[in-house]
């Protein structure tokens, strides 16, 4: 599992993120073929997930071995409160579930016209 502190995102703008994931033992790119991957955002201190997306709804895309792309559009983020959010990235394959990334994403007020 990896821990990440992500760059702040302005409320009302798109959040897109490439992640390059390598095996910690040999440095090879992790093959996500056949995996279902889900990304979630949860406001720090609250229990409910605010925003989620996955390979099923194309908010998470497997670009190539070891490379994932996350895309939450402004409409997905526009109802979020300003503050820190916990980011989770979960991988499911062959009946197993693993937390791949746990991190923090600050949502800040910005001058983005909606």
Residue 83 confidence (pLDDT): 92
Cβ-based neighbours of 113, under 8 Å, separated by 6 or more = 12
What homologous superfamily does CATH list for 2-108? Answer: Immunoglobulins (2.60.40.10)
Q: Average model confidence (pLDDT) for the chain? A: 89
| pLDDT tens digits, one per residue of 97-112 | 998 888 889 999 875 5
What pairs with residue 92 in β-bridges? Answer: 36, 97
Query: Could you please report the per-residue DSSP string of 97-110?
Result: EEEEEEEEEEEE--
What is the pLDDT averaged over residues 3-31? 87
The model carries a pTM of: 0.85
What is the pLDDT averaged over residues 17-31? 89
Instruction: Average the pLDDT over each of 3-17, 37-51, 66-80, 92-106 and give the range with the smallest value.
Output: 3-17
Instruction: Average the pLDDT over each of 10-19, 30-39, 57-66, 102-111 and give the range with the smallest value.
Output: 102-111
Cβ-based neighbours of 38, under 8 Å, separated by 6 or more = 52, 53, 54, 55, 60, 88, 89, 90, 92
Query: How, if at all, do strands 60-64 and 51-54 pair?
Result: unpaired
Q: How far is CA 96 from CA 77, 87, 92, in A?
A: 30, 20, 6
Yes or no: say if 11 and 107 are a contact pair by the CB < 8 Å rule.
Answer: yes
Q: What one-character DSSP code corresponds to residue 29? A: B
Rounded to 5°, the CA angle 65-70-71 comes to 140
What is the pLDDT averaged over residues 91-96? 93
Yes or no: say if 13 and 74 are a contact pair by the CB < 8 Å rule.
Answer: yes
Domain ranges of the chain: 2-108
């Amino acid at each position: 599992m990896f821990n990440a502190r992500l760059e702040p995102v302005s409320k009302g703008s798109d959040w897109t993120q490439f992640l390059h994931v390598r095996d910690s033992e040999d440095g090879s790119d992790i093959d996500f073929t056949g995996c279902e991957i889900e990304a979630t955002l949860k406001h720090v201190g609250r229990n409910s997930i605010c925003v989620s997306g996955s390979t099923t709804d194309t908010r998470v895309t497997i670009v190539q071995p070891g490379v994932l792309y996350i895309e939450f559009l402004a409409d997905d983020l526009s109802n979020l409160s300003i503050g820190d959010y916990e980011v989770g990235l979960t991988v499911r394959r062959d009946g197993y579930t693993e937390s791949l990334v746990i991190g923090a994403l600050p949502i800040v007020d910005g001058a983005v016209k909606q």
